[in-house]
Amino acid sequence: MIGNMMFQPLLISSLIEHAALYHADTAIISKNTDGSMTETAWGQIAQNSKRFANVLQSFGLTVSDRVATIAWNNHRHLESWYGISGSGLVCHTINPRLFPEQHKYMVNDANDKVLIFDKTFLNLVLSIKEAIPYVEHFICLDAYDEDILQAFPEVLFYDDLIAQHSEHFEWPELDETKASSLCYTSGTTGNPKGVLYSHRSTVLHSYAASLPDSFHFSAQDRILPVVPMFHVNAWGTPYSAAMVGCSMVLPGPMLDGESLVQLIDEYEVTNALGVPTIWQGLLNAAYQCGSKLESLVRNVVGGAACPPNMLKAFKDDFQCETIHAWGMTETSPLGAVNQLKAKHAALDDSEKFKLRFAQGRPPYGVSLRVCQDEKGTAESARDGQLPGHLQIKGHWIVESYFDQFNHALTQDGWFDTGDIATLDQDGYMQISDRSKDLIKSGGEWISSVELENIAIAHPELDMVAVIAATHPKWDERPILIAKKSAASSLSEAEILDFYANKIAKWQIPDKVVFVDAIPVGGTGKILKKDLREAYGSILLAAVPA
């Protein structure tokens, strides 16, 4: 047939070009590592991203080489992202909260050629430097600093580099299926696994995430992504923001409630995104200082289940609509988002709250199903009743992990999320449990298996299990259930001491519960569900909300 539409590859460079052309003066407000503020705009971000692309070219990097970042949400990080991915390189964001062994593993596994970092992470970088021999260039995301140069003589400074290079750069016309960024999942036993996003998946995800029934972004908004750029690319918000031309406030390293209230009020943020722990901190701070968060029209909560009273607190006390969303590193992350439909308008408030407490329904571009097993052999009814293994497929869902040849999918092409959920006929999904043996504390993963392996190495413990206990601040915290050997007089403090230097401090269990027996099922597996029922609330009494 004659006649066709144009074909243009969906590229990340097209997002920043669009923002530069049509939203050049839209503000990007950024908190620097020292707490000072920088006000810039999309036009300037685009120019500097081109300068940085020239810097990277001058290093002789070739398409798909990896460039790592260890940085907070700030304007230089944003510029570097567009410079890296736009020029055909892969932006590998690293979570600074992980253990140094994991940092070394990830940088080497990704074969990063350049590592750029915020001042805050100088010591982290120095501590792993000798173990990451393939990194050829280290760039401090800041202006020249004599002290840093003293500590790290081969370091380059971002501001110097971009000042030396031209703002003219021709973005390459890449294949849209080429990799654009890389993010590692953590918390699993064994090494972290890399998820490689493509230009195409990123652009399509940005469309879906911006829609009114998703994060609801527009050129009238000023958004505050509190979710870090090293957590699934800040949920893709820097890409969606360029697509719709909204203004952004980037909060830098200060994510405490007080600092966030100040940013929201001073810069009139309309929409903010983060994990429940962040919002709990924000609510407490706002109550304390009497702020009404007047500009805040909506906030997005995801990464962990939204406590029901949080939706109500934002609505009743701040007239702010809280949008509950679900996703994971492997899903870019948006897999479901909770917005009501027209038919729900007649429901009363309590019924609406009940519906909105679920994790939501999939936007166009992804599909969900729940199955009776993780292989996906039998799909469960979409009746909102029977929980099953939640599986997903779509344009921005992982197919295989970085550098692993095996597909991560079921035989019929779905990705098993490791979450247990119900699905109703309208597509509303509600998570009820997790099949993966992980604990999510304040948005960061802790592997229960790793904690068990450490504890069981103690000669006076016969059997152990680590479970997630609900925590009012951190959503979940690990607790250790332990059966001591007969003659042992081991104390809780001694066991907790045993964890020191074997794991990051914040991953050490909050509590040890000594028991006479740990329940096991027919196949000899520990019945963690029973343990969660028995001890899952044990921290709620101990810690004031």
Please give the residue ranges that form the binding site for ligand AMP (CB under 6 A). Answer: 185, 232, 302-305, 324, 326-329, 333, 359, 417-419, 431, 434, 440, 445
Contact 45, 245 (CB under 8 A): no
Enumerate the β-bridge partners of residue 337. Answer: 325, 361
Q: Is 440 a catalytic residue?
A: yes
Strands 112-117 and 66-70: parallel
Q: Is 399 a catalytic residue?
A: no
Separation between Cα atoms, residue 307 and residue 475, nearest integer Å: 9
Angle subtended at Cα 47 by Cα 45 and Cα 48, rounded to the nearest 5 degrees: 65
* Nearest distance, CB of residue 398 and ligand AMP, angstroms: 10
Contact 290, 261 (CB under 8 A): no
- Closest CB to ligand AMP among 261 and 429? 429
Angle subtended at Cα 291 by Cα 290 and Cα 297, rounded to the nearest 5 degrees: 145
Which tokens sit at 34? 């020292």
* Nearest distance, CB of residue 451 and ligand AMP, angstroms: 18
The single residue of 69, 185, 277, 417 carrying the catalytic annotation is: 185
The single residue of 17, 79, 330, 450 carrying the catalytic annotation is: 330
Which tokens sit at 367? 């599909």
- 281: helix, strand or coil: helix
Contact 215, 323 (CB under 8 A): yes
Separation between Cα atoms, residue 24 and residue 22, nearest integer Å: 6
Separation between Cα atoms, residue 184 and residue 192, nearest integer Å: 6
In sequence order, the 6+-apart residues with CB closer than 8 A to the CB of 435 are 374, 389, 418, 419, 420
Which tokens sit at 254? 């200060």
The single residue of 171, 396, 414, 445 carrying the catalytic annotation is: 445
- Closest CB to ligand AMP among 29 and 304? 304
User: Which residue has tokens 């996003």?
Assistant: 197
Of residues 67, 97, 111, 279, the one with CA closest to residue 187? 97
Per DSSP, the residues of 199-267 read HHHHHHHHHHHHSTTTT---TT-EEEE-S-TTTHHHHTHHHHHHHHT-EEEE-BT--SHHHHHHHHHHH
Residue of this chain nearest to ligand AMP (CB atom): 328
Separation between Cα atoms, residue 181 and residue 136, nearest integer Å: 19
- Closest CB to ligand AMP among 385 and 435? 435
CA distances 204 to 414, 515, 536, Å, are 19, 51, 39
Contact 185, 78 (CB under 8 A): no
Q: Is 185 a catalytic residue?
A: yes
- Closest CB to ligand AMP among 311 and 480? 311
Enumerate the β-bridge partners of residue 370. Answer: 390
Q: Is 42 a catalytic residue?
A: no
- Closest CB to ligand AMP among 295 and 380? 380
Of residues 15, 8, 66, the one with CA closest to residue 45? 15
- Closest CB to ligand AMP among 98 and 451? 98
* Nearest distance, CB of residue 195 and ligand AMP, angstroms: 8
Q: Which helix (H) or strand (E) holds 419?
A: strand 415-423
Angle subtended at Cα 415 by Cα 89 and Cα 241, rounded to the nearest 5 degrees: 45
* Nearest distance, CB of residue 346 and ligand AMP, angstroms: 26
* Nearest distance, CB of residue 450 and ligand AMP, angstroms: 16
User: Which residue has tokens 């029977």?
Assistant: 386
* Nearest distance, CB of residue 16 and ligand AMP, angstroms: 25
Enumerate the β-bridge partners of residue 379. Answer: 371
- Closest CB to ligand AMP among 93 and 359? 359
- Closest CB to ligand AMP among 16 and 421? 421
In sequence order, the 6+-apart residues with CB closer than 8 A to the CB of 345 are none
Q: Which residues are catalytic?
A: 185, 330, 440, 445
